[in-house]
Amino acid sequence: MKVVIIGGVAAGATTAARLRRLKKDIEIVIYERGNYISYANCGLPYYIGNVIKNRDALLLNNPKLMKDRFNIDVYVNHEVLAILKDSKELVVFNKEKGIEEKVSYDKLIIATGSSPIVPNIPGINNSRIVSLWTVPDTDTIKSLIKVNNVKKALVIGGGFIGIEMLENLANLGIEVSLVEKSNQILGNLDKEMAKVLEEHLKTNGVKLVIGKGAIAFRNVGEGLEVSLDDNTKLITDLVILAIGVKPNSMLASNAGILTNNKGGIIVDSKLRTSENDIYALGDVATVKNFVSNLEVMIPLAGPANKQGRILADILGGLDKEYKGSQGTSILKVFEMSGGSTGLNEKQLKALNLVKHVDYEEVMITQNNHAGYYPNATPLYIKMLFDLKTGFILGAQVVGFSGVDKRIDILSTAQRLKLKAWDLQELELAYAPPFSSAKDPINMLGYVAENVVNGLVKLVDVVSYYDNKDEYLTLDVRENKEREQGFVEGSVHIPYGELRKRFIELDKNKKIAIYCAIGVRAYNAARILMQNGFEEVYVIMGGYNFQRIYEKK
């Protein structure tokens, strides 16, 4: 059997290596249109920022090593021009020799990945406007920074690559700005969670332009002028374009292989396309969303590598299937991190247009480790779960330390279909430098159980501020805390005085309670509810979170 793989980076190279370990006699051939295979594209921004010093560290494999170690033939600078599915052949162009040839296959794997989106904007072809996706892109950016003595850089797009480039350009002493057309950065997070990271970007000197898009570029003197859709003009030395990616599926669609409305190649759980003996995986293929069960595009390295191993197992005769992607991710943002898994609230609201999901939201603020141990820092954790089944629909974690641990626990709980309130039973490693006796994950479980049992009603910070006039806002912090700031118009009764003073409050009012992080507010809510107050809500996250969201 001859297996031909188009594309030799994450998914393609993983498939080839695993398949060889399973079957020694199969002929395996990889065609890669670029110069490199199996490189660490997730590390490229950090090489630009000199965090990764050695360029060769990014190059995980090469054609010679693949031949020597795995007996796999790899042809770089070879572009597949056409798939002739009826004859089971490919038209391949050898870029170095400038010739075309036809090659046969028994099984074909399309692992062509994705490419940066480049919008049709006047001046977009300026040499100082670049995207980051490949090793040559990295070389171009580093050269531009050095040759042009770049002092200012503008990143367009607040996704993963855009944010990583902000940090790494700043590490080089470059003044950085971000233009993001939507109303927030990082679409995998909900607005209030993204807001925490936006404020952190500002504290690190990043100039944010949110809610505006670029419409034109032109050279002005020695600089590059960027025109925004509100007539603002920005001058910079370098533009990094990072507004998203699109699947490299033209080769497949030209061959009549079915794609979705975003260009993703449609595959089943065995990674089979609509055509016999043709498979697709990685960024170019659709995946089933593990939560919604809808076919979506999730261009992440983790799922791509897992798909590669699973497809190799299938071709090697094992009974395997790909059971879907959760979209679990994490991002470093200077000293902070943001992680997510599953669906966010925006996606759940969109999903409700297709099928109803009765979900509940829990958001807490907890320290990453014991508060009495030095250098404790806050973690902001949001969880969405099905109110009836307890299934964790999605989760987001933002903080300075311990983000990876908590998002991984939540992702694992989601994959294993634990109920939200089951989180309280998890026995997690504890010592003061690492966590608290009640880990933040346990606390999520406690709060979820309280919500389901009707012991507390919650209101998220976005909904609260959108409807603030409907509430009598109660601050239960101590006097010294209130001196540091408070919600305008709030009534102040310290928690320790509430049992004697609750009669000062109107039982007919809708009451929203806050403290520093939420624990005292919950206890205060129980006091009021036990004394006949019916419309009592705890503002999730506490004042420490609210004041971040309030910042303009």
- Rounded to whole angstroms, the Cα distance separating 546 from 460 reads 10
Q: Is 365 exposed, middle or buried (0-12, 13-18, 19+ CB in 10 A)?
A: buried
Q: Which amino acid is at 254?
A: N
Q: Which amino acid is at 130?
A: V
- Rounded to whole angstroms, the Cα distance separating 526 from 503 reads 15
Residue 355 corresponds to which tokens in the numbers above?
């099928």
Q: 187-200: buried (b, 16+ CB within 10 Å) or exposed (e) per residue? A: bbbbbbbbbbbbeb
Number of C-beta neighbours around residue 492 at 10 A: 16
- Rounded to whole angstroms, the Cα distance separating 461 from 543 reads 10
Q: 498-519: buried (b, 16+ CB within 10 Å) or exposed (e) per residue? A: beeebeebeeebbbbbbbbbbb
Write down the catalytic residue from 2, 23, 27, 42: 42
The phi and psi torsions of 431 (rounded to 5 degrees) equal: -155, 150
Residue with tokens 């979170």, as numbered in its chain: 545
Round the CA-based radius of gyration of the chain to a whole number and report it: 26
Beta bridge partners of 362: 383
Sequence length of the chain is 552
User: Which residue intervals of 52-134 are DSSP H helices?
Assistant: 63-70
Question: Quick one: angle between helices 191-203 and 542-550, nearest 10?
Answer: 70
Is 515 catalytic? The answer is: no
Which strands form 233-236's sheet, in the order they lie side by side? 214-220, 223-228, 233-236
Catalytic residues: 42
